[in-house]
């Protein structure tokens, strides 16, 4: 029997919970061709949300095509252009013969290099001479608009890990180039999101950056406890098991409503359950999860400075005025300046999240491990 909980990959159908308001909002944006930026901490279900909204939007409008691009391993303009062209043609072509034809048809100055895998179901791979692209990038950047007009389509291009373009050579110039083209498109919209929340904020909320006010911003919140509890109970029931209300609430509490960890802890609890999942089973599963991740947490902790750890210790202890002389002395924090530096570094390293000046841990299991095992406070 397959486990009823999914984490670490796209959640679909019964594995997808809540986010109905966000899904409806995204569907409206997609069908209306409104640019959208999604910002949230890592592993909060952005990709699953986009995937669900894309499916619903294409069901609503049959001339809509959604193109999915992941920039996880993309570190240069050259790779970006090739991937953009390949994914746009793939999303708008029904057969590989049509994809090859389109690759040749919609480029007048660039000469695409086309490769076909032995598997006919695989995508056609498209590459270019980089020197040519540097001279005339317009054809790649406007490709989706040209195809949309020629085929009578609407196209939404969804780009995951979009913040990676900040690492490109001369990134600001590249971003200006992208926006100068994309803002003119009338038949294409863009949905941009990524796992580095602080970098996404810099790209889209800094008035000095090219992508400032490029589209509607969506800030994802955590999934509310009632939705998670109902989801846990339904998924247990679907597999012939059950879970008590107390156990369901405990999963949400121990994971701080974190979508990824909520699914993972629910799965571990489900695996340990024969008939009814109880609080004791959830507690046992949580201990196993913490132990399973402890080596990773040790590795992360070893990269932190003493002052950063001292600040985290104070934060975990619930101190509300960490910059006070008394608190700094108690936790051996050298100065308010040290606190400020620690905050910046911890946010940039995705240890903490900063929401309106309120700092919290992105990883609730790491926070628990630090508090109970590293700092030794039960």
Token pair of 331 as six digits: 């936790």
Residue 339 and residue 238 share a domain = no
Helix (H, G, I), strand (E, B) or coil at 65: strand
Domain stops at, among 161, 189, 219: 219
**Structural domain includes residue 10:** no
**Structural domain includes residue 38:** yes
**Structural domain includes residue 3:** no
Residue 113 and residue 46 share a domain = yes
Residue 201 and residue 340 share a domain = no
How far is it, in rounded angstroms, from Cα 4 to Cα 177?
45
How far is it, in rounded angstroms, from Cα 33 to Cα 184?
12
- pLDDT for 369: 97
**Structural domain includes residue 5:** no
What is the per-residue burial (b if ≥16 Cβ within 10 Å, else e) of 150-180?
Answer: eeebbbbbbbbbbbbbbebeebeebbebbbe
**Structural domain includes residue 14:** no
**Structural domain includes residue 370:** yes
What is the tally of structural domains in the chain? Answer: 3
How far is it, in rounded angstroms, from Cα 192 to Cα 161?
8
Task: Tell me how crowded residue 348 is: count the other CB atoms within 10 A of its CB.
Answer: 12
Residue 210 and residue 69 share a domain = yes
Residue 275 and residue 143 share a domain = no
Residue 161 and residue 60 share a domain = yes
Residue 251 and residue 360 share a domain = no
**Structural domain includes residue 91:** yes
Q: Is 255 exposed, middle or buried (0-12, 13-18, 19+ CB in 10 A)?
A: buried
- pLDDT for 107: 78
SS (H, E, C) 257-315: CCHHHHHHHHHHHHHCCCCEECHHHHHHHHHHHHHHHHHHHHHHHHCCCHHHHHHHHHH
Domain stops at, among 299, 322, 345: 299
Token pair of 3 as six digits: 């486990």
Residue 113 and residue 164 share a domain = yes
Residue 116 and residue 59 share a domain = yes
Q: What's the CATH code of the domain at 244?
A: 1.10.8.60
Tens place of pLDDT per residue across the chain (378 aa): 577 887 655 545 555 556 788 899 999 999 999 999 998 877 788 888 999 999 999 999 999 999 999 998 898 888 898 889 889 988 998 777 777 787 778 877 777 777 766 665 566 677 777 777 777 788 889 999 999 999 999 999 999 999 999 889 999 999 999 999 999 999 999 999 988 888 888 889 889 999 999 999 988 888 889 999 999 999 999 999 999 999 999 999 999 999 899 999 999 999 999 999 999 999 999 999 999 999 999 999 999 999 999 999 999 999 999 999 999 999 999 999 999 999 999 999 989 988 888 999 999 999 999 999 999 854
Token pair of 131 as six digits: 């020197």
Q: What is the pTM of this model?
A: 0.83
Alpha-carbon 178 to chain mean position:
21
Token pair of 81 as six digits: 């252009």
**Structural domain includes residue 8:** no
Residue 320 and residue 274 share a domain = no
Q: Which domain holds residue 58?
A: 19-219
How far is it, in rounded angstroms, from Cα 250 to Cα 286?
10
Residues in the chain, how many?
Answer: 378
- pLDDT for 378: 45
Residue 355 and residue 207 share a domain = no
Residue 335 and residue 248 share a domain = no
SS (H, E, C) 216-256: EEEECCCCCHHHHHHHHHHHHHHCCCEECHHHHHHHHHHCC
Domain stops at, among 299, 314, 342: 299
How far is it, in rounded angstroms, from Cα 307 to Cα 315?
12
């Amino acid at each position: 029997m397959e486990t009823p909980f999914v984490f670490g990959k796209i959640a679909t159908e019964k594995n997808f919970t809540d986010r109905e308001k966000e899904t409806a909002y995204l569907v409206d944006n997609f069908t209306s061709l409104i640019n959208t930026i999604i910002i949230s901490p890592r592993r909060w279900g952005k990709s699953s949300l986009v995937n669900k909204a894309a499916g619903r939007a294409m069901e609503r409008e049959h001339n809509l095509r959604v193109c999915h691009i992941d920039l996880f391993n993309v570190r240069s303009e050259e790779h970006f252009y090739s991937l953009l062209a390949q994914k746009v043609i793939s999303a708008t072509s029904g057969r590989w013969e049509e994809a090859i034809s389109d690759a040749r048809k919609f480029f007048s100055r660039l000469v695409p290099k086309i490769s076909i895998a032995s598997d006919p179901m695989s995508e056609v791979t498209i590459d270019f001479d980089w020197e040519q692209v540097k001279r005339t990038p317009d054809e790649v950047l406007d490709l989706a608009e040209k195809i949309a007009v020629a085929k009578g389509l609407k196209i939404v291009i969804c780009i995951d890990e979009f913040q990676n373009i900040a690492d490109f050579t001369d990134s600001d110039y590249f971003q200006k180039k992208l926006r100068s083209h994309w803002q003119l498109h009338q038949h294409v919209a863009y949905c941009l999101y990524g796992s580095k929340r602080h970098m996404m904020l810099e790209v889209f909320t800094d008035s000095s950056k090219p992508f400032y006010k490029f589209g509607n911003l969506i800030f994802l919140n955590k999934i509310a406890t009632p939705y998670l509890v109902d989801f846990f109970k339904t998924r247990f029931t679907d597999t012939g098991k059950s879970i008590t209300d107390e156990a369901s609430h405990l999963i949400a509490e121990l994971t701080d409503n974190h979508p990824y960890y909520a699914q993972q802890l629910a799965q571990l609890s489900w695996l340990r359950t024969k008939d009814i999942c109880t609080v004791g089973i959830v507690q046992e599963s949580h201990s196993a999860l913490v132990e399973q991740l402890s080596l990773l947490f040790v590795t992360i902790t070893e990269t932190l400075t003493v002052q950063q750890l001292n600040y985290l210790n104070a934060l975990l202890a619930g101190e509300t005025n960490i910059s006070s002389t008394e608190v700094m002395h108690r936790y051996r924090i050298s100065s308010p300046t040290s606190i400020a530096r620690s905050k910046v570094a911890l946010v940039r390293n995705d240890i903490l999240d900063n929401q309106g000046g309120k700092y919290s841990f992105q990883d609730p299991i790491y926070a628990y491990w630090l508090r109970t095992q590293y700092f030794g406070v039960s």
